[in-house]
């Protein structure tokens, strides 16, 4: 190859030059080609400027790649349940007492041996590594700095329970996605217990769903294979049948290896709540998985009263799905919940500002709860009873 030929191969062609010039024009501010015209593109505020949880959602949107943001933000199907989880709070009103109790509201409580300064925990959520380089360690540090808020570590976290437990932090629980073969559950359960897990939370509300919008859309574009397999792993409408084996005897079997309190997560009916009591569960979590599983289920909040009535104080009742504000938490407490678990909210904090973001979000929610209790005239969690709430569920 001659020198002239080599220079010609490395030179800029007219096509490449034109493409670069057009790219420059599209990226110019006046062209507006890079703007999403449906969103406000004002400057994203710093941590000190965050005033409520929804400010963090906007910050996370700007800082995370779209796939990561969408995984946290979106729900299953038409997202009716995801929207309903938020709308349900509009159906519960708080009725303040004209003359309230004296003193600063006391929010400390204890659930299944775990002491907490506020009736707030972090719900388990997957793969924090995509949100921040510190992964779940950042989330855990944020929890410690916010009154040592208890954290439930997901079975599909970016870090093992043993790794996280080595860090000086607050109370830790472990969430388990159970396996059909009993012995396959032993290693994660015993590892978590040996590392100090305060409880094991067994998720049972994901029997037949794998949520990933991008994967779903890609599957719809594929040609179905022939013949289709009955387990749903072929064809355009794929789903996981790996959890369709669940039976209530699961908990009796797990009890042979669980030495700490065990809870069932995913209860939405009074019948299932009664079965949980019958089968020896130490607690339940009222949850529809944040609207990420079956669409068109009721919100967690609207089924909470009937579940609390069925349980009748025999075991603690926790709740998650849709909680954003301190007043949301007070509504759940008034309807009988013992504590509230936050899922998406701390993910926004971690994704936008790391551990300090998690801390700030929890501090905001905690202060909002104190403010709501003060305005309602209640100075203790025991006083946050049904007399505070007026419900108008459809």
Residue 151 main-chain phi, psi, to 5 deg: -125, 135
The predicted-structure confidence for 314-346, as pLDDT tens digits, reads as follows 999 999 999 999 999 999 999 999 999 999 999
Side-chain half-sphere CA neighbours of 63 within 13 A: 23
Q: Per-residue pLDDT averaged across 245-253, rounded?
A: 92
Between the two ends of the chain, the Cα-to-Cα distance in Å is: 79
Measured from the Cβ of residue 311, the count of other Cβ atoms closer than 10 Å reads 21
pLDDT at 5 over 70: no
The predicted-structure confidence for 150-195, as pLDDT tens digits, reads as follows 999 999 999 999 999 999 889 999 999 999 999 999 999 999 999 9
Q: Which residues contact 63 (CB under 8 A, 6 or more apart)?
A: 44, 351, 352
Give me the pLDDT at residue 227, please. 46
Q: Name the least confident of 66-75, 301-310, 326-335, 352-361.
A: 66-75
Task: Report the alpha-carbon distance of residue 165 to residue 61 in Å, rounded.
Answer: 30
The predicted-structure confidence for 7-49, as pLDDT tens digits, reads as follows 656 677 777 777 777 666 656 655 555 555 555 556 678 999 9
**Portions of the chain given CATH number 3.20.20.70:** 69-207+243-391
What SS3 class is residue 321? coil
CATH architecture for the domain at 69-207+243-391: Alpha-Beta Barrel (3.20)
| Catalytic one of 128, 132, 155, 289 | 289
5 in catalytic set: no
What SS3 class is residue 171? coil
What SS3 class is residue 239? coil
Helical spans, DSSP H, in 32-160: 53-63, 66-73, 80-87, 135-144
């Amino acid at each position: 190859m001659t020198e002239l030929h080599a220079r010609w191969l490395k030179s800029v062609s007219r096509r490449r030059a034109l493409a670069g010039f057009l790219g420059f024009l599209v990226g110019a501010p006046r062209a507006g080609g890079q703007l999403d015209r449906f969103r406000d593109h004002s400057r994203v505020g710093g941590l000190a400027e965050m005033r409520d949880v929804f400010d963090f959602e906007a910050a996370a949107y700007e800082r995370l790649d779209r796939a990561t943001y969408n995984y946290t933000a979106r729900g299953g199907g038409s997202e009716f349940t995801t929207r309903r989880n938020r709308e349900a709070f509009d159906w519960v009103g708080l009725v303040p007492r004209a003359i309230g109790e004296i003193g600063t509201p006391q929010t400390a409580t204890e659930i299944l041996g775990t002491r907490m300064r506020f009736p707030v925990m972090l719900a388990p959520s997957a793969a924090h590594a995509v949100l921040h380089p510190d992964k779940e360690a950042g989330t855990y540090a944020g929890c410690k700095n916010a009154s040592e808020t208890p954290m439930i570590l997901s079975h599909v976290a970016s870090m093992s329970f043993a790794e996280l437990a080595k860090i000086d932090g607050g109370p830790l629980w472990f969430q388990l996605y159970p396996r059909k073969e009993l012995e396959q559950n032993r290693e994660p359960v015993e590892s978590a217990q040996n590392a100090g897990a305060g409880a094991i939370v067994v998720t049972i509300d994901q029997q037949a769903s794998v949520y990933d919008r991008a994967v779903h859309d890609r599957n719809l574009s594929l040609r179905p294979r022939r013949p289709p397999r009955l387990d749903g792993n072929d064809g355009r409408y794929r789903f996981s049948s790996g959890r369709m084996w669940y039976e209530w005897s699961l908990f009796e079997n797990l009890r042979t290896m669980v030495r700490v309190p065990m809870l069932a997560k995913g209860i939405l009916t009074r019948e299932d709540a009664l079965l949980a009591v019958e089968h020896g569960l130490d607690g339940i979590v009222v949850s529809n998985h944040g609207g990420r599983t079956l669409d068109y289920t009721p919100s967690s909040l609207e089924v909470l009263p009937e579940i609390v009535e069925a349980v009748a104080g025999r075991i603690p009742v926790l709740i998650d799905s849709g909680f954003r504000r301190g007043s949301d938490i007070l509504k759940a407490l008034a309807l009988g919940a013992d504590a509230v678990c936050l899922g998406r909210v701390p993910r926004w904090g971690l994704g936008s500002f790391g551990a300090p973001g998690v801390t700030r979000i929890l501090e905001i929610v905690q202060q909002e709860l104190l403010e709501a209790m003060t305005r309602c005239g209640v100075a203790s969690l025991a006083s946050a009873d049904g007399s505070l709430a007026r419900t108008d569920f459809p």
